[in-house]
Amino acid sequence: MRQRPRWLQGLNNPLFARLYLAQTINLVGDSLTWLGLALLAFELVGEQAGAILAVALTLRVMAFVLLSPIAGAIADHLDRKRLMMTTHLARMGIVCLLPFVTQTWQIYAIVLALNVFYAFFTPTYTATIPLVTTAAECPKAIALSSATYQLLGVLGLGLAGGIAAWIGTRQVFFLDGVTFLIAAILIATLPGRLMVDQSPQTTRTVHKILKNIRTGTRCLFADPPIRYALVLQLITAIAGAQILVNTVGYVQGQLQLGKLEYGWVMAAFGIGATLASIGLGNAQQKISPIWLMSIGATLITLTLLPANLANLGGLLLLWAIAGVGQTLVNVPTQTLIADRVAIEAQGRVYGAHFAWSHLWWAIAYPLAGWMGNGFPGHSFFYSSLSGAALLVIVYGLFKPQQLIHLKQGLWHEHTHTHDEQHAHNHPAILQHRHLHFHILDSRQ
C-alpha cells in the first residue's frame, strides 16, 4: 500500500481523520456563511454593506475573546464529543434563519449567536487533537488542520461564490446548515467519550469555571516560551491586519487595478500560509519552535517595508512571503502548547490562547484602519517600521536564544492536601489543586 506524504500521515489515525473531516466540512460551512452574509448585506443596503460586515466581524471577534476561555474550561470537564456536536447542531439551526432576514439588526443578532457557539467549538476541537493522537502524530495533525484552515480561507470563498451564483443568495444558507449537520454526524460516530481524566471531579460552579479560566491564562503567561509566542502573535496580528484591511485600497486605489487582481494578491497570501503549513507538517522536527516563530514574525513584518512601492508582481511575492511568516508563528505556537501543557489542562490553555490571540486582532484591526486613513500611501511602510521596533524590544526582553535551552517539562495540576498542622487558613477545604511545572528527566 502506498504510503501517504509525511504531512498527511496524521490521517493514518482513524479518530483524527474523522475529526479532521468534520472540521473541514465545518470550514466549508463557515465560508458559505460569510460569503452569503456579504451578498445578503449588499441586497439589504447596497454599497453600505461594508459597514454591516465590519460590525459583524467585531461581534465575531468579541464573542471569541469573551467566551473562548469559558469554552476551554468547560471542555476540560465535559465530553468533548457531545460539546462539539451541540455547537454544530445549534449553528445549523441558527444559520437557517438567515434566509428570512429583512433588517440589518437581525444580521447582527444572528451573527452574534452563531459565533457564541463557534467560540465554544474551536478551542474544544484544538484541545481534542492531542487527545486522539500520539505525541508523534500531534504536530502533523495540528499542521494539517492549520493548512486546511488557510487553504479553505482562500478557496472556500471562491467555492461559496460559485454555489451562491448557482442556487441563489438566500438558499446558500440552507446548504450551509447541511454542512453543520454532516459535521455533527461525523463527530457522533467517534467511539466512546472524549474526556480527559479529572480527579477528583468537582462541582461545575461559576467559581470553578472562573478559576479554570485563570488557570489557562496563567499557563500562557507563566511559561516563558509560550509567553514569547503570544507576544509574537500580537506583532503578527498588527502586520496581518494591515494586509487584510489596506490591501484592497492599495491594489484598487494606488495601482488602479480591479477586483480580480485584488483576489490574486489575497490568494497569494493564503497560498503562502498554506504551503508553510504543509512544509511544517512534512518536515522533521529538527528546528526549535522558538526559532521558527522568530523567523516568521520577522518575515511578515519586513515584507511590509517595501510594499508601498511594489507593483502587482512584487506584491504577489511579498504577500506570499508574509503568509509563510504568519504560519511560522501560528502553527509552532499551537504545538508548543501541546508540548508544554499536560492533556488534562490543555482545554483551558487553548481556550485562553484563542481568546488572547483574537484580542490582538481586535486591537490590530482598528489600528490598521487608522493607519490606512491617516497614511494612505505609506501605511505598510510605517507599520513595518513600528513592527520592527517592537521585534527588537521583544527579542531583547525575551532573549529567544536562551529560551531554546530551557528544560523540557509539562504544566499540570496536582492536588495539595492540608494536614492538621498546616499553617494556612483554608476553612472547610482539605484539598485544593495547584498549577505546577514538572521538569522532565532527559534520561527517561
Query: Where do the domains of the chain lie?
Result: 1-135+155-196, 203-444
The CA distance from 105 to 107, in Å, is 5
DSSP secondary structure, 393-443, as one string: HHHHHH-HHHHTTSPPEEEEEEEEE--TT--S--TT-SEEEEEEEEEPPTT
Q: What is the dihedral of CA 33, 39, 44, 48, to 10 degrees?
A: 110
Q: What confidence score (pLDDT) does residue 2 get?
A: 60
Q: What confidence score (pLDDT) does residue 178 get?
A: 93
| 339-350 confidence digits (pLDDT tens) | 777 776 766 777
Class of domain 203-444 as given by CATH: mainly alpha
Q: What confidence score (pLDDT) does residue 284 get?
A: 53
Average pLDDT over every residue of 68-90: 78
Q: List the beta bridge partners of residue 433.
A: 415
Q: What confidence score (pLDDT) does residue 298 get?
A: 95
CB of 164 closer than 8 Å to CB of 24? no
Q: What confidence score (pLDDT) does residue 44 get?
A: 82
| 217 has a pLDDT exceeding 70 | yes
The CA distance from 127 to 194, in Å, is 11
Average pLDDT over every residue of 395-421: 64
The CA distance from 23 to 26, in Å, is 5
Q: Which of 87-101, 164-178, 251-265, 322-336 has the highest mean pLDDT?
A: 87-101
Q: What confidence score (pLDDT) does residue 223 get?
A: 82
Whole-number Cα distances in Å, 214 to 220, 221, 341, 348: 10, 11, 15, 9
Task: Return the exposure string of 73-91: e unless at least 16 CB atoms fall within 10 Å of the residue's CB, then b.
Answer: bbbbbbebbebbbbbbbbb
CATH of 1-135+155-196, one of 1.20.1300.10, 3.30.70.260, 1.20.1250.20, 2.60.120.10: 1.20.1250.20
Q: How confident is the model at residue 72 (pLDDT cuts 50, 70, 90)?
A: low
The CA distance from 252 to 243, in Å, is 14
Q: Which residue has the higher pLDDT, 109 or 33?
A: 109
- Range from 40-54, 285-299, 328-342, 401-415 carrying the lowest mean pLDDT: 401-415
One-letter amino acid for residue 197 of the chain: D
Q: What confidence score (pLDDT) does residue 180 get?
A: 92
| 360-385 confidence digits (pLDDT tens) | 888 887 787 788 777 878 989 999 99
Q: Which residue has the higher pLDDT, 94 or 151?
A: 94
Q: What confidence score (pLDDT) does residue 268 get?
A: 83
The CA distance from 304 to 284, in Å, is 30
Q: What confidence score (pLDDT) does residue 181 get?
A: 94
Average pLDDT over every residue of 234-247: 86
Q: What confidence score (pLDDT) does residue 208 get?
A: 62
Residue 278: its H or E element: helix 259-282
Task: Find, among 324, 272, 33, the residue nearest to 156 by Cα.
Answer: 33
- Range from 15-24, 172-181, 197-206, 352-361 carrying the lowest mean pLDDT: 197-206
Q: Which residue has the higher pLDDT, 315 or 429?
A: 315
- Range from 88-97, 291-300, 337-346, 432-441 carrying the lowest mean pLDDT: 432-441
Q: What confidence score (pLDDT) does residue 200 get?
A: 42
Q: What global pTM score does this model have?
A: 0.68
One-letter amino acid for residue 360 of the chain: W
| 415 has a pLDDT exceeding 70 | no
Determine the straight-line distance between the first and last CA of the chain, rounded to whole angstroms: 35
1-135+155-196 and 203-444, same CATH topology: yes
Q: Which of 184-198, 315-329, 346-360, 365-379 has the highest mean pLDDT?
A: 315-329
Average pLDDT over every residue of 175-179: 91
Q: What confidence score (pLDDT) does residue 383 get?
A: 92
The CA distance from 382 to 395, in Å, is 20
One-letter amino acid for residue 366 of the chain: P
Q: How confident is the model at residue 418 (pLDDT cuts 50, 70, 90)?
A: very low
Cα angle, residue 370 at apex, residues 240 and 331 outer, rounded to 5°: 15
| 48-62 confidence digits (pLDDT tens) | 555 676 677 778 888
Question: Cα 419 from chain centroid?
Answer: 44
| 431 has a pLDDT exceeding 50 | no
Burial class (CB in 10 A: 0-12, 13-18, 19+), 251: buried
Burial class (CB in 10 A: 0-12, 13-18, 19+), 96: middle
Percent of the chain exceeding pLDDT 90 equals 20
- Helix and strand numbers (H, E) in the chain are 14, 2
Mean pLDDT of the chain: 77
**Residue written as grid cell 480527559:** 196
